[in-house]
């Protein structure tokens, strides 16, 4: 029943809904209006976003060949190049007008590792002053027991750790600079802390698994590995092709019938092990509309606010969904979904400015798309 309510409201993805967060009038009525207007999808949304994806650093201590950072290095003309900066607490404070309405904030990896930012905990403290639900995404390389203990002391609700394989050699090849043993030990320590504090602190621990053409069948033994680690949830997505050199690793290269078989086995195994498992869709529902322009925003270093976490810059994109032919591979230049800059504009005004209305009208087919949303495969949950 709780899952049915959560899915209907579309409040959060995998983690449990913390209903206490809605005890505040602004947040409660904002969520109420969101639920009321969710299906009608008005061009001007009479509420504010429920969720904020917040990038806190563009520094990274790994060198992963398939990372979006490679796009910024290779296509400087389109992206402006790879900038390495940490978000400052004073910048985050510019979101103050919005946070009383927001349910959840996720400190995402973006182009970097969040813990490289020395303002990470001060940023968390500031966000917690609004009593929002908080989660973070990490590669685990900079974790230690002190940070894990601090995560529970500050009552952070969700942590997602990037770990794409149960095999040491593959892990350290895909994530150049990673230490397999360290990551495993930190995940086990997180699971141990979760057991100790589960009665007083609702906490959700997950792993992020990226399907590639060369690892998709590994999900079956990987689930046994996850169980041994004490993890409760695995979020699976497919590799995003950012540069030509990784095209052969795309999960879309794998025949659908092979993926279907693996997914069926994975669902059964996850259920038997008591592990939550999110898998990408394999079929296209033509009636699907993207919820991002009505649900939340992504906020990036430098102040850019986008409707979509995947299209933060103008760029080449490799896979698209055509209305007639379905999923196709075709390298095309596409525009970003940036709707404003919160360091230069009022964050509340950005939510219903002309740019986001333009994106919404395109998604509602009221006018031609002026963004990559029309042919985007993310909205069909193929990712």
DSSP string, 182-251: HHHHHHHHHHHHHHHHTTTS--EEEEEEEE-TTTGGGHHHHHHHHHHHT--EEEEEE----SGGGGGG-G
More confident residue, 8 or 40: 40
The pLDDT tens digits for 248-295 are 999 999 999 999 999 999 999 999 999 999 999 999 887 888 899 999
pLDDT for position 374: 86
**What value does the mean pLDDT of the chain take?**
91
φ and ψ at 211, to 5 degrees?
A: -75, 130
Amino acid 344: pLDDT: 97
Angle at CA of residue 157, ends 187 and 207, nearest 5°: 35
pLDDT-derived band of residue 15, with 50, 70 and 90 as boundaries?
low
Residue position matching structure tokens 């917040």: 54
Query: pLDDT at position 4, please?
Result: 44
Other beta carbons within 10 angstroms of residue 65's beta carbon come to: 15
| Predicted TM-score (pTM) of this structure | 0.93
Neighbouring residues of 73: CB distance < 8 A, sequence distance ≥ 6: 81, 82
pLDDT at 221 over 50: yes
24-83 confidence digits (pLDDT tens): 999 999 999 999 999 899 999 999 999 999 999 999 999 888 899 999 899 898 888 888
Cα separation, 94 vs 333, whole angstroms: 32
What does DSSP assign to residue 352?
Answer: T
Between CA 336 and CA 32 the distance in angstroms is: 30
Reported as a single tens digit per residue, the pLDDT across 296-339 is: 999 999 999 999 989 999 999 999 998 778 899 999 999 999 99
């Amino acid at each position: 029943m709780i899952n049915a309510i959560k899915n209907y409201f579309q409040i959060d993805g995998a983690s449990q809904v913390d209903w206490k967060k809605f005890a505040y009038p602004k947040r409660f009525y904002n969520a109420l209006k969101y639920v009321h207007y969710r299906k009608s999808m008005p061009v001007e949304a009479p509420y504010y976003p429920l969720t904020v994806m917040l990038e806190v650093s563009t520094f990274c201590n790994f060198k992963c060949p398939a990372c979006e950072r490679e796009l910024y290095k290779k296509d400087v003309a389109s992206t402006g190049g790879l900038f390495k900066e940490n978000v400052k607490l004073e910048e985050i404070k510019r979101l103050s007008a919005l946070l009383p309405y927001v349910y959840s904030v996720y400190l995402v990896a973006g182009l970097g590792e969040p813990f490289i930012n020395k303002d990470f905990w001060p940023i968390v403290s500031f966000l917690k002053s609004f009593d929002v639900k908080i989660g973070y995404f990490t590669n685990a390389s900079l974790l230690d027991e002190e940070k894990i203990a601090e995560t529970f002391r500050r009552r952070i609700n969700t942590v997602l750790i990037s770990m794409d394989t149960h095999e040491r050699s593959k892990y350290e090849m895909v994530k150049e600079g990673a230490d397999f043993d360290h990551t495993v030990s930190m995940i086990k320590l997180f699971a141990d802390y979760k057991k100790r504090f589960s009665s007083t602190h609702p906490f959700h621990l997950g792993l992020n698994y990226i399907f590639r053409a060369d690892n998709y069948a590994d999900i079956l033994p990987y689930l046994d590995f996850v169980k041994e680690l004490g993890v409760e949830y695995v979020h699976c997505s497919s590799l995003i092709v950012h540069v030509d050199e990784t095209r052969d690793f795309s999960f879309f290269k794998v025949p659908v019938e092979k993926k279907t078989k693996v997914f069926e086995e994975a669902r059964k195994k996850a259920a038997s092990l008591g592990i939550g498992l999110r898998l990408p869709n394999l079929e296209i529902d033509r009636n699907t509309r993207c919820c991002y322009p009505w649900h939340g925003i992504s906020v990036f270093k430098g102040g850019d606010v986008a409707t979509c976490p995947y299209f933060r810059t103008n760029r080449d994109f490799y896979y698209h969904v055509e209305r007639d032919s379905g999923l196709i591979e075709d390298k095309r230049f596409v525009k970003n979904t940036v709707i404003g800059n919160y360091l230069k504009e009022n964050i509340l005004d950005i939510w219903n400015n002309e740019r986001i209305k333009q994106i919404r009208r395109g998604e509602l087919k009221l006018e031609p798309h002026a963004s990559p949303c029309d042919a985007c495969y993310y909205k069909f949950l193929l990712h």
